[in-house]
Amino acid sequence: MTGTTLDDYTDRYARRVRGMTASEIRALFAVASRPEVVSLAGGAPYIAALPLDAVGEMLGKLGSEHGTTTLQYGIGQGTLELRERICEVMADSGIDASCGASPDDVVVTVGGQQALDLVARLFLDPGDVVLAEGPTYVGALGVFQAAQAQVVHVPMDDDGLIPEALEVAIADQARAGRRVKFLYTIPTYQNPAGVTLSEERRERVLDICERAGLLVVEDDPYGQLGFEGEAPRPLRARRRDGVFYLSTFSKTFAPGLRVGWILAPHAVRDKLVIASEAQILCPSAFAQAAVTTYLSTMPWREQLKVYREVYRERRDALLGALHDLMPEGTTWTRPTGGLFVWASLPDGLDAKAMVPRSIAARVAYVPGTGFYADGTGTGNMRLNFSFPTPERIREGVRRLARVMEQEIAMRQVFGPVGPTGSRRGGADVPGPDLA
C-alpha cells in the first residue's frame, strides 16, 4: 500500500508554494478568540475607542448618498482625495513636500500587507536576500517566503537595530556571493519587540545602506501611537532616495477597511500600480471613501490621543503585572509606543512547547519562533496589550506566570523536557538581551 497525503494536489503546486506554512499567530486565533481565554496573542486595535455611532452614520451615508461612486470600480493607484489626505497624515510625522512627499508618488493598497507584497513582487527574485531585524513581523516573513527569498536577521537591543551588526551582515552576504536586495525594518515601536530605533542610529543605518547600495523598506504602522513624547522622525523624512515608506490605517482607524499605502520613489510608482492592478484591479472605492471622509470630517488627531491614552494605560498594566508576577529570570522590553512587549523566558523554558499548557490555563501568547525565519526564538514570547482591559491583562499574566512556574518546577524534578533554542539575536550575529 502506498502512502497518501491529505492534499491531492501536492504534486501540482508551483515550486514557490513548497514549504508554505501557517503562521504561529494564525494557528492560535481559533482558540485565542474564545471568551474564556485571555488573549495576549493578537495585535488588534481597540476599536471600541472609536466614536462608533458617528462612524456608523458616516458609513451609511457613503452608501445611501454616494453609492453610485463608492460602490463602483476605481483606479489602480487610489483616489486623489485619499492620497492627498495620506500626505497630510505623513506630514504630521515629518514626511512632507520638503522631502519629496507628493500624492503623485503614493499608491493606495489593501492594508499594509499588500504594500509589502507589492515591494516583494517588484524587487525579489528567488534566492535573493532580505535583511530584517531579528525578531521581525511575521506577516513580512510570509511575504518574503512566498517570494522565495532568504531572510537574514540582524539583531537589536533596547535602541533598535544594531548598526555594527548590519554592517557585518552585509559583509557576510557579500563574501558568500549572495545578492541582498533591501533592508526591511520597523524602526518605530517595532513588532514584535516594541523597541524604537534611536535618533543617532537612524542616520547610521541610512548611511550604511546608502554605502552598500541597499534599498530600505520602512514599515511604519505604529508611529502615531507613541505614549512618551514624539517619536523620532521616520527614515523617509531623512532620505528620499532608496527609501520606501509603508503604512496603514489599520492601527489608527479601522483594520476592517483594509486601507494602507506606499510612498515610493517616483520612478517605481508606475510599476507598483501595474503590479497592484494585476492583483486586485483597484482598491475598494468604498473603503477609500470611508477613510477619506473620516480624515476630512472627523477629529482624527483627537482620536489618536484617545488611542494613545488607552494603550498607555494597558501597557502600564502589562508591565506592572509582569513585574509583580513573573518568575525570576524573566525579562521584557518597555515600549514607548505601539502594541507589543517582547519577553525573554528564564533559561531552559520553551515558549512554543508551553503553548498547549497555556491554552489549557486559558491564556494565549505568541511564541517567539513565529518572528524568526530560522526557527530561533523558542525562549521568547510576544505579548499584546492593546485589546484586553487592564484587569484582563493582569489576570492573563497571572495565569501565564503560573504555567511558567509549573514548567520550572517540572524541570527541577525531571530535568529538561523538549528542545531549547536560541533566545536572542539574529541568524548570523549573536544579539544582546532585548530587555
64-109 confidence digits (pLDDT tens)? 999 999 999 999 999 999 999 999 999 999 999 999 999 999 999 9
Query: What span, in angstroms and rounded, lies between the C-alpha atoms of 299 and 292?
Result: 12
pLDDT lower than 70: segments of the chain: 1-5, 18-30, 416-435
Residue 262 forms beta bridges with which residues? 107, 246
pLDDT of residue 424: 38
Alpha-carbon torsion angle 120, 124, 126, 127, nearest 10:
-120
| pLDDT attached to residue 20 | 66
Report the pLDDT value the prediction gives residue 422, as an integer from 0 to 100. 40
Residue 60 to residue 414: CA distance in whole angstroms: 61
Would you state the pLDDT for residue 421? 40
229-288 pLDDT, tens digit per residue, is 889 999 999 999 999 999 999 999 999 999 999 999 888 999 999 999 999 999 999 999
User: Is the C-alpha dihedral spanning 40, 44, 46, 47 positive or negative?
Assistant: negative
259-296 burial code (b ≥16 CB/10 A, e <16): bbbbbbeeebbeebbebbeeeeebbbbbbbbbbbbbbe
